[in-house]
Structure 1
Amino acid sequence: MTDAHAGPALLLRDFVNTLDIDAGADGLASPGDLAGWLAGHDLVPAGTAASDGDLGTAIDLREGLRAALLRNHRRAAGEPAAPALPPELEDALGALPLRVTLASGPHPVLRPAAEAGTAAAGLARIAAAIADASADGTWPRLKVCHEDTCLWAFLDTSKNRSRAWCNMSTCGNRTKTRAYRARRRASAAGPPAGPPAGG
């Protein structure tokens, strides 16, 4: 699978990655940041304004999507299901109504029901990308890094969908090193003491 075939998935990945947990950098720190990001991804016209309410919806959508991608990761790894998705995700999706239209071609498509050229319409286009990624088969391949200090979103293009980290040389190495050190500490502590002799 090439990036050219993963448009909706890449949009979702980039949106989730507006928060770099490892670096502590938030690309959506203000309504102006949100408006600029939406315009930079051709989701709204340049100069579109965003409100504090739009920003709150965007943050809820972003963090809800991060939780959903963590569930995708755990499903692919055969781990038990992650906790329920945060209710803020459903609230955000409910605030971004979509409509089905046949006017765009032979197939039905989801379009924002919000007024065109608003931040809400841009966010609704991100919500529509969830359905688009599901339809084109890329949704289950969207994951977040297994390293809990990272949680960077990525598209798993491996054949068997087994990729666990955004980058093996950094996050994979951190996780493996931490596990190795924990095993060494446990080994150095020795086996647990048995019951006292006699009695």
Structure 2
Amino acid sequence: MSERSPAPGGLDLVETLVNTLDVETGADSLDTPQGRARFGLTEDDVPSARELRESLRASLLAHAGHPPHRTVTPLGELLAGAPLVVAVDAADGSAALAPARGDSLLTRVAAAVAEALVAGTWTRLKACEAADCHWAYYDRSPAGRGRWCSMQVCGARAKMRRYRARGA
């Protein structure tokens, strides 16, 4: 798990949603009323939120160059159910993406992904390559080739495993 600063803009929502599940312990904050309230979810919304979370995690693993570990609904299929429109403020002419209908977690995630695509930040949001972690993090490295959510934890563990495997 990372101690990094949150992802910029709407990607913070995506990062926070993916990180509701601690892969190592199995603890899922969507199981708690406080965890659900954070996203405006009811208990009935949890299965679709989990499906969205795991589709996002699969995309973030792909951003880091790793295939997902399980079959999930492709993120594009889920986001297709959340059409967006360009809303323009008549007073100042500012524009933003807004849900075409309703305000659900899915539409907020769709808007965050679309805005990140335009800003060029979408592929910087990744999932840690450690199989027992897969924590979402925003890669702030200059070359954009970060592999772990934390060099002090997941990175150090991976390097130690490689060192031991060499028999040193």
1:150 counterpart SS class: coil
TM-score normalised to structure 2 length: 0.80
RMSD: 2.8
Q: TM-score, normalised by structure 1?
A: 0.69
Q: How many residues align?
A: 162
2:107 to 124, 129, 135: 124
In the alignment, the residues of structure 2 paired with residue 106 and residue 82 of structure 1 have an alpha-carbon distance, to the nearest angstrom, of: 42
* SS of residue paired to 2:166: helix
**Separation of aligned partners in 2, 1:82 and 1:4:** 24
CA spacing shift, 1:65–1:14, aligned 2, 3 Å:
same
SS of structure 1 residue aligned to 2:147? coil
Unaligned 5+ segments in structure 1 are: 40-48, 75-80, 188-199
Unaligned runs of 5+ in 2: none
Bigger CA radius of gyration: 1
Q: State whether structure 2 residue 141 is matched by structure 1 residue 158.
A: yes
Task: Tell me the equivalent position of 2:26.
Answer: 24
Give the counterpart of 2:73 among 71, 87, 91.
Answer: 87
> Equivalent of 1:169, from 152, 157, 168?
152
Say which structure is richer in helix: 1
Please say if residues 143 and 155 of structure 1, whose CA atoms lie closer than 8 Å, have aligned partners that are also in contact. yes
C-alpha distance 143-170 of structure 1, shift in aligned 2 (>3 A): same
By relative contact order (CA 8 Å, sep 6+), the higher-ranking structure is: 2
Alignment partners' CA distance in 2, 1:25 and 1:123:
22
Identity of aligned residues (%): 38
Q: Report the CA distance shift for 1:88/1:60 in structure 2 as closer, same or farther (over 3 A).
A: farther
Distance 1:169 1:5 in 2: 19
Secondary structure of the structure 2 residue equivalent to 1:20 = coil
**Are residues 94 and 33 of structure 1, via their aligned partners in 2, closer, same or farther at CA, if it must alter by over 3 Å?**
farther
Q: Whole-Å Cα distance in 1 between the matches of residues 25 and 155 of structure 2?
A: 17
